[in-house]
């Protein structure tokens, strides 16, 4: 528990800096269940994980703290959709129409109505997936019919190496696209770029290392 006071302090410090619209998703990947427990004690309920196996073990270790708000933020493989739906109420990383269709079908089988954010890629970035602007607009009529998914927003990441001056327009572009589609949630901003994302209207900043320290 040696890291606990530090993380709780960093949580309070971050919360104080965030605009009211931006909620903090504590990204606990690479950190143990005890680090999550320390933040729960400090009042944090929403946590992001990107690997199913790692997240499942942590969720089991934390069963005694009561229900937490788990968000899946990593690349979602087709064969992991069912267990991810069983363990996460929100998925930020639906990045194609076939994946959305599969997720909807399995959610219906499971009797679940997950909250979904569509991952978009508005700049070239070979390391990331996501709908292009055109791809999203083209798929949108079909996406909207995918009950029981509750598609509430867009998620995006800035390419590594993009300067702060270019990140803010990128986030603003994502916010504009969400507005055009009538979507209210914007998952934008990580430890290194959350201030620009928050200024552009982020409603979920996904913060890992700035809260928990660097991943091992």
* Binding positions for ligand PLP, rule: CB under 6 A: 27, 29, 50, 73-74, 190-192, 206-210
- Reading the block at residue 113, the tokens are 């109505």
Min dist CB 202 to ligand PLP, Å, is 12
Min dist CB 136 to ligand PLP, Å, is 18
Min dist CB 94 to ligand PLP, Å, is 13
User: Which residue of this chain has its Cβ atom nearest to ligand PLP in the complex?
Assistant: 208
Closer residue to ligand PLP, CB minimum distance, 85 or 207? 207
3-state helix, strand, coil in the chain (%, to 5): 45, 20, 35
Closer residue to ligand PLP, CB minimum distance, 54 or 110? 54
Closer residue to ligand PLP, CB minimum distance, 49 or 85? 49
Alpha-carbon distances of 62 from 3, 54, 86, rounded to whole Å? 17, 13, 16
Closer residue to ligand PLP, CB minimum distance, 50 or 203? 50
Reference 43, options 13, 8, 70; nearest CA is 8
Query: Is the omega angle on the peptide bond into residue 148 within 30 degrees of 0, that is, cis?
Result: yes
**How many residues are there in the chain?**
216
Closer residue to ligand PLP, CB minimum distance, 99 or 147? 99
Reference 190, options 214, 164, 158, 152; nearest CA is 158
Min dist CB 78 to ligand PLP, Å, is 19
Min dist CB 111 to ligand PLP, Å, is 28
| Spatial distance between the Cα atoms of 11 and 8, rounded to a whole number of angstroms | 5
């Amino acid at each position: 528990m040696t890291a606990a006071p530090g993380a709780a302090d960093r949580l309070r410090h971050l919360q104080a800096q965030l605009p009211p619209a931006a909620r903090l998703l504590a990204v606990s990947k690479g950190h143990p269940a005890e680090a999550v427990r320390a933040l729960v004690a400090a009042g944090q309920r929403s946590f992001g994980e990107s690997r199913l196996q790692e997240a499942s073990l942590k969720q089991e270790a934390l069963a005694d703290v009561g229900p937490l708000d788990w968000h899946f933020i990593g690349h979602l493989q087709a064969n992991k959709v069912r267990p991810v739906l069983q363990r996460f109420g929100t998925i930020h990383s639906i990045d194609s129409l076939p994946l959305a269709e599969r997720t909807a079908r399995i959610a219906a089988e499971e009797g679940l109505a997950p909250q979904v954010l569509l991952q978009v890629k508005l700049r070239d970035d070979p390391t990331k997936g996501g709908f292009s602007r055109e791809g999203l607009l083209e798929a949108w009529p079909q996406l909207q019919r995918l009950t029981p998914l509750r598609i509430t927003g867009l998620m995006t990441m800035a390419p590594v190496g993009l300067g702060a001056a270019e990140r803010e327009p990128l986030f603003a572009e994502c916010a504009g696209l969400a507005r055009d589609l009538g979507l209210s949630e914007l998952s934008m901003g990580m430890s290194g770029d959350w201030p620009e994302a928050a200024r552009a209207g982020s409603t979920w900043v996904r913060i890992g290392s700035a809260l928990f320290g660097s991943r091992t």
